[in-house]
């Protein structure tokens, strides 16, 4: 979140806010909460549905400061953090903001050599590398063309 100073850039002291996160969004287990708002203190409990800043400061001439908290979402989609969910102390109310969450997954990377192109419905063979941390976990690979392929697990 960015806290923006007013146009005269006067010093602002001891401001704060509480932000109620949109439904389906919560503070991540690794909240990693931080701020550049002077001596401000960020509160964000892992799994919680809100975050807060208390005692924030902007020095004279300072245009803005930030509050950063890692969040997680129940599923991919668009979440609106509306200004109605933010209670402020010593600040003008903020504008609403949109968070877009994309599905997390491994990216498959492959290349096909000596290929003159591919027509719809035809099959292409290409080596594919998908990094997977499988140590201590079982992994089922579906559609593997080379039965000799496997997984190497290195601990430590």
Full 3-state SS string of 102-130: CCCCCCCEECCCCCCCCCCCCCCCCCEEC
- For the chain, give the longest Cα–Cα distance: 69
pLDDT score recorded for residue 118: 43
Confidence of residue 112 (pLDDT cuts 50, 70, 90): very low
- pTM here? 0.62
pLDDT score recorded for residue 152: 52
Query: Is the separation of the CB atoms in 125 and 112 below 8 Å?
Result: yes
Render pLDDT for 40-69 as a digit per residue (tens, 0 to 9): 999 999 999 999 999 999 999 999 898 999
**What would the two tokens of residue 77 be?**
């989609």
Q: Which residues pair with 88 in a beta bridge?
A: 17
Provide mean pLDDT across the span 123-137: 45
From its phi and psi, is residue 147 left (phi > 0), alpha (psi between -120 and 50) or beta? alpha
Residues of the chain with pLDDT > 90, as a percent, come to: 31
Give the ranges where 2-135 is alpha helix by DSSP (H).
none
Torsion angle (degrees, nearest 10) of CA 70, 71, 72, 77: -120
């Amino acid at each position: 979140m960015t806290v923006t100073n007013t146009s005269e850039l006067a010093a602002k002291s001891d401001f704060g806010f509480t932000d109620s996160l949109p439904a389906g969004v919560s503070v991540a287990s690794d909240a990693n909460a931080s701020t550049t708002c002077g001596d401000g203190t960020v509160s964000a409990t892992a799994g919680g549905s809100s975050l807060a800043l208390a005692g924030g400061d902007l020095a004279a001439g300072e245009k803005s400061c930030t509050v950063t908290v890692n969040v997680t979402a129940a599923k991919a989609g668009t979440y609106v953090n509306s200004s109605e969910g933010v209670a402020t102390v010593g600040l003008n109310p903020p504008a609403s903001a949109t968070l877009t969450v994309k599905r997390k997954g491994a990216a498959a990377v492959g290349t096909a050599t000596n290929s003159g192109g591919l027509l719809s419905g035809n099959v292409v063979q290409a080596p594919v590398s998908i990094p997977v941390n499988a140590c201590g976990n079982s992994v089922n690979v579906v559609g593997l063309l080379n039965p000799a392929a496997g997984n190497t697990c290195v601990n430590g």
